[in-house]
Amino acid sequence: MPEVDLLQAVNMALTKAMETDDRVIVLGEDVGVDGGVFRATNGLIERFGAERVRDTPLSEAGITGLSVGLAAQDFRPVLEIQFMGFIYPAIDQIINHASRLRNRTRGRLTCPMVLRAPFGGGIHAPEHHSESTEAMFAHIPGLRVVIPSSPKRAYGLLLAAIENPDPVVFLEPKRIYHVQKENVEDDGKALPLDRCFVLREGSDITLITWGAMIVETLAGADQLAEDGVSAEVIDVATLTPLDTDTIFSSVEKTGRCVIVHEAARTGGFGGEIAARLAEDGLLSLLAPVKRVTGYDTVIPMPRLEHHYMPSLDRILTAAREVLEYS
């Protein structure tokens, strides 16, 4: 059982999917000869050939439109957008075609495609390389938005996304590509989509997050434990459709909740979770829900980036305010 990081787990999942199903095709800018901008597709063209690992022109709209057509004809395209900040030219194809194909054809056609994109800040990249606009895609009916936060979850969730009959936006938190290694069995077993993962059981407060912010949130739970506070940590993993059962069950137990994400505060997906708790979980809450988020500005590159990102101190401050509320 190999010990791999998140990026290597993505490569493992792509390899396994292509071995298992010859309908799986990988395409995107530099995914073939160069192995992708972060080398997530390294070695695939040598193993599966240029017919199934296709280097494309520099056109995100073209890559996505081609993938929609392939998916409609029973292929399983996995396209790579090099950075989430480059995804906007593809939005017409994603929203107007991929997400609507099942409804438009009354189920005669589906769109089993996966759009992979590295996202988020924390690597001191230039402009257009550090966006966290996952909430924009979570707003679109017909799309699944999946965000892994560990090597095991990257492997299992990507396999599940490729097997899914409808389009999946699969966002990879590049800040933690190489942060953690895990023993990942290359057994081809998918993890369930549409489910949160409880990473740590607790009874005093619920900390909800996804993506790279798992690192700081788990560190916050460790720090709170030193103060005698039992924090439950939930990795949302699939933003849409949202697993509210797991979230409500946790908040019913703890009565207190902090939501952490690095995306800008206004319109961030944390607001959706907070709204659902207000609508359907209000009587379980012993304190107002707090959000720890990025700011309503473009990430200031490069030297001020760390001021933008939610920090351990900000998470602890929010948690203690919620715990002290009466």
Rounded Cα–Cα distance for residues 172 and 100 (Å): 24
pLDDT value for 299:
85
**SS3 assignment, position 45:** helix
pLDDT value for 326:
83
The whole-model pTM stands at 0.97
For tokens 């990942």, what's the residue? 184
Residues known to be catalytic? 129
pLDDT value for 66:
97
pLDDT value for 316:
98
Closest of 73, 77, 68, 67 to residue 25, by C-alpha: 77
pLDDT value for 70:
98
Rounded Cα–Cα distance for residues 91 and 274 (Å): 27
User: Can you list the pairs that 267-271 forms with residues at least 24 positions away whose Cβ atoms lie under 8 Å?
Assistant: 267/135, 268/135, 268/293, 268/294, 269/134, 269/135, 269/138, 269/239, 270/208
For tokens 């590509």, what's the residue? 177
Please, what are the domains in the chain? Answer: 3-183 (3.40.50.970), 197-324 (3.40.50.920)
pLDDT tens-digit map of 55-103: 999 999 999 999 999 999 999 999 999 999 999 999 999 999 999 999 9
pLDDT value for 320:
98
pLDDT value for 71:
98
pLDDT value for 2:
83
Each residue's pLDDT expressed in tens, for the chain with a length of 326 residues: 789 999 999 999 999 999 999 999 999 999 999 999 999 999 999 999 999 999 999 999 999 999 999 999 999 999 999 999 999 999 999 999 999 999 999 999 999 999 999 999 999 888 788 999 999 999 999 999 999 999 999 999 999 999 999 999 999 999 999 999 999 999 999 999 999 999 999 999 999 999 999 999 999 999 999 999 999 999 999 999 999 999 999 999 999 999 999 999 999 999 999 999 999 999 999 999 999 999 999 888 777 898 999 999 999 999 999 999 98
pLDDT value for 201:
98
Contacts of 233 (CB under 8 A, 6+ apart): 198, 199, 200, 202, 207, 209, 214, 217, 218, 221
pLDDT value for 163:
98
